[in-house]
């Protein structure tokens, strides 16, 4: 029986060129690596050095597989013009060298791809209907498996395409719109994977677009997707909950209802919890998930995202220069749990010995005291994430709108904070209240600062305090009955925060209003949001094509009250609500 797969993403080494604006961490920024449209040998030499160092470090943690971006840069086509054909040949050579390095270090290498990749030449030469695009994918995998025999397989993402901010030779778009089409895709490609002895890892991640947008929570869609799929070389890859990498999510019931091989996806550079700029420990959260899943006979492994995901202005590179201790800690604890079945306590002991003791000679009592201090520090930071960043009364509810499970966190997304009448109406419509005591909140921050000093932790205490004070008053404005004073405090704080951190965060704080205009969003939310997975008859009416067109217009009119990244980074809202 083949060893379980412990995958980790490997985009970190590719960020060797500084990106001035907000960074899209969703995949390798190939366009930034080019000069005048050409990938440079010197740049890839730097990448190769970082790549090798990164592999040595993650191998020492216990990982045995990597996800490498991306398939389209390995494909040659006779209709590419000479300039573009030369570019692709260079990428094939450079990426092929990285595949070889990883293989020599006993890593299984999986090439990633969106379904489907595209550029102007492919659009011109290949018909855009579904059947023709399946044939394009078949020939693509046929070519890459022939030319790169060291590849172990591929990872297919069908539910999200490139954000509107993505530049480069390729852009992806959504091809699979229904579960039946997803099933056709699998059955079309799987015989090729089997003949080549390669593994197909199929991700269920969707952002709500099209009929397949409910795949993460709807068992009927999953059944249609997997109908007739039986192969030792097929693996279904699922995030642990019914939404993205958030807290307050139950383990998806999908894990307990299907028989194909499974991979659980986990994130250790927490894209919604600071990107590693402050401690956001996942140990106790992932221990809960591990306990639920560890006895599944069809669990084939895990996929850890230690760098991939989200948009931010933070520049840390996990495991390389300017790494984040908190990301490395999360990654260590995650692999120690899922591969070696260690407790949080034991994993923390190992991390302390490996990273924090730093060759110092400590007595047993001194070491015990430091580990206890570290554990206490992480408990406190975890408390702040659960009770200050998130609004517990809102996050703990299972809410659905159309094809999406409503995220447990909606006001703080990536490096943005949005406080507006619309956001307040959405949260208040669920009955979420405000319970935090400000003195207790400050007491937690003070104790963390003392512990960090005693343990010599690289803890940005002032930044953590300033950011979470913003979150504290934002939570009060969004969920308290009488938020006027909190709003005044929040407006003052945002000025100070911008002065100190020079737009590190996008802050959108809009004064509240009363009257009928203020009541309407809440009434609309009560109508549109449901508290059960299954669709209501009402949903068929509320989300019929004519009304979706109306919603798209209304969303554009309320854009000032929505997060600043909407329609400027990720997929457009209009595409998501189809």
Q: What is the pTM of this model?
A: 0.95
Q: Above 80 in pLDDT, residue 522?
A: no
Query: Percent of the chain at pLDDT above 90?
Result: 80
Q: Tell me the per-residue pLDDT of 383-401, one tens digit each, with 9 for 90 and over.
A: 999 999 999 999 999 999 9
Closest CA to 302 of 273, 339, 328: 339
Taking each helix axis as running N to C, give the angle between helix 130-147 and helix 179-196, from 0 to 180 degrees, rounded to the nearest 10. 20
Residue-by-residue DSSP string for 138-151: HHHHHHHHHH-TTE
Residues 47-61: what's their mean pLDDT?
98
Q: How many CB atoms lie within 10 A of CB 149?
A: 12
Band (571; pLDDT cuts 50, 70, 90) = low
What class does CATH assign to 5-342? Answer: alpha beta
Per DSSP, the three-state class of 344 is: helix
Q: How confident is the model at residue 568 (pLDDT cuts 50, 70, 90)?
A: low
Instruction: Give the pLDDT of residue 270.
Output: 98
pLDDT surpasses 90 at 519: no
* pLDDT score of 567: 57
Q: What is the pLDDT of residues 453-505, one digit of tens each?
A: 999 999 999 999 999 999 999 999 999 999 999 999 999 999 999 999 988 99
Q: Is the dihedral of CA 312, 316, 317, 319 positive or negative?
A: negative
Q: Is the model's pLDDT at 165 over the cut of 70?
A: yes
Average confidence (pLDDT) over 20-42? 88
Q: 427-460: per-residue pLDDT in tens?
A: 998 999 888 899 999 999 999 999 999 999 999 9
Q: Which pLDDT belongs to residue 549? A: 80
Q: What is the mean pLDDT of the chain?
A: 93
Helices (H), 272-398: 283-293, 325-340, 344-351, 364-384, 392-395
Beta bridge partners of 114: 157
Least confident span in 6-15, 231-240, 252-261, 416-425:
416-425
pLDDT value at residue 1: 46
pLDDT at position 554 over 80: no
- State the pLDDT at residue 307: 97
pLDDT tens figures, 263-303: 999 999 999 999 999 999 999 999 999 999 999 999 999 99
pLDDT at 2 over 90: no
Q: What percent of the chain has pLDDT over 70?
A: 95
Show the tokens assigned to 147.
Answer: 């030319």
pLDDT band at 516 (very low <50, low <70, confident <90, very high): very low
Does the pLDDT at position 82 exceed 70?
Answer: yes
pLDDT tier at 572, thresholds 50, 70, 90: low
What is the per-residue pLDDT for 565?
67
- The average pLDDT across 156-169 equals 85
Q: What local confidence, expressed as pLDDT, does residue 546 receive?
A: 85
The predicted pLDDT at position 246 comes to: 98
* Residue-level pLDDT at 297: 96
Q: What is the pLDDT of residue 59?
A: 98
Q: Which residues contact 22 (CB under 8 A, 6 or more apart)?
A: 311, 312, 313, 415, 569
DSSP H stretches of helix in 8-129: 41-61, 82-104, 120-125
- Among candidate residues 460, 528, 452, the one with its CA nearest the CA of residue 500: 460
pLDDT at 576 over 60: no
- In the chain, ranges of CATH 3.20.20.80 domains: 5-342
Which segment of 123-132, 208-217, 503-512, 521-530 scores lowest on mean pLDDT?
Answer: 521-530
The average pLDDT across 104-110 equals 98
Spatial contact of 204 and 238, defined as CB atoms under 8 Å apart: yes
């Amino acid at each position: 029986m083949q060893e379980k797969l412990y995958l980790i993403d490997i985009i970190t080494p590719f960020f060797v060129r500084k990106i001035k604006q907000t960074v899209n961490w969703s995949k390798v920024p190939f366009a930034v690596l080019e000069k005048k449209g050409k990938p440079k040998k010197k740049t890839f030499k730097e990448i190769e050095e970082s790549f090798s160092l990164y592999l040595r470090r993650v191998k020492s943690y216990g990982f045995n597989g990597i996800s490498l971006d991306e398939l389209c840069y390995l494909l040659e086509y006779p209709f590419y013009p000479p300039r573009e054909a030369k570019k692709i040949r260079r990428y094939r050579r450079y990426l092929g060298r990285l595949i070889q390095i990883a293989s020599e270090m006993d890593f299984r290498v999986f090439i990633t791809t969106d379904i489907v990749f595209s550029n102007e030449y492919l659009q011109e030469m290949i018909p855009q209907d579904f059947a023709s695009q399946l044939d394009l994918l078949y020939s693509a995998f046929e070519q890459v498996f022939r030319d790169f025999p060291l590849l172990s397989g591929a990872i297919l993402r069908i539910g999200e395409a490139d954000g509107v901010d993505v530049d480069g030779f390729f852009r992806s778009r959504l091809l699979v719109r229904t579960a039946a089409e997803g099933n056709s895709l699998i059955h079309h490609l799987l015989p090729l994977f089997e003949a080549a002895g390669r593994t197909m890892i199929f991700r269920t991640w969707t952002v709500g677009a099209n009929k397949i947008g409910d795949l993460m929570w709807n068992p009927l869609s999953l059944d249609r997707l997997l109908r007739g799929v039986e192969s030792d070389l097929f693996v279904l890859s699922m995030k642990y909950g019914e939404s993205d990498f958030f807290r307050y999510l139950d383990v998806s019931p999908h894990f307990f209802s299907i028989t194909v091989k499974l991979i659980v996806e986990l994130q250790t550079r927490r894209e919604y919890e600071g990107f590693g700029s402050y401690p956001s420990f996942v140990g106790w959260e992932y221990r809960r998930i591990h306990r639920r899943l560890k006895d599944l006979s069809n669990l084939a492994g895990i996929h850890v995202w230690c760098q991939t995901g989200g948009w931010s202005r933070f520049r840390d590179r996990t495991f390389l220069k300017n790494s984040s201790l908190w990301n490395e800690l999360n990654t260590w604890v995650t692999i120690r749990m899922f591969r070696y079945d260690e407790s949080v306590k034991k994993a923390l002991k190992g991390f302390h010995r490996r990273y924090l003791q730093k060759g110092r000679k400590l007595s047993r009592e001194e070491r015990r005291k430091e580990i206890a201090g570290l554990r206490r520090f992480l408990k406190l930071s975890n408390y702040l994430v659960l009770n200050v960043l998130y609004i517990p009364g809102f996050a703990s509810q299972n809410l659905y709108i159309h094809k999406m499970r409503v995220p447990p966190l909606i006001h703080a997304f990536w490096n943005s904070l949005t406080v507006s009448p619309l956001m307040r109406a959405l949260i208040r419509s669920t009955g979420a209240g405000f319970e935090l005591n400000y003195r207790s909140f400050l007491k937690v921050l003070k104790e963390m600062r003392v512990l960090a000093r005693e343990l010599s932790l690289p803890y940005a205490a002032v930044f953590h305090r300033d950011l979470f004070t913003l979150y504290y008053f934002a939570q009060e404005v969004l969920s308290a009955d009488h938020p006027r004073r909190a709003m005044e405090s929040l407006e003052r704080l945002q000025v100070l925060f911008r002065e100190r951190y020079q737009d590190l965060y996008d802050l959108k704080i809009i004064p509240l209003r009363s009257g009928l205009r203020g009541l309407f969003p809440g009434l609309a939310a009560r109508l549109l949001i449901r508290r059960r997975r299954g669709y209501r008859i009402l949903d068929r009416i509320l989300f019929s094509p004519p009304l979706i067109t109306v919603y798209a217009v209304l969303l554009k009119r309320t854009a000032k009250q929505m997060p600043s990244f909407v329609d400027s980074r990720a997929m457009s809202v209009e595409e998501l609500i189809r």
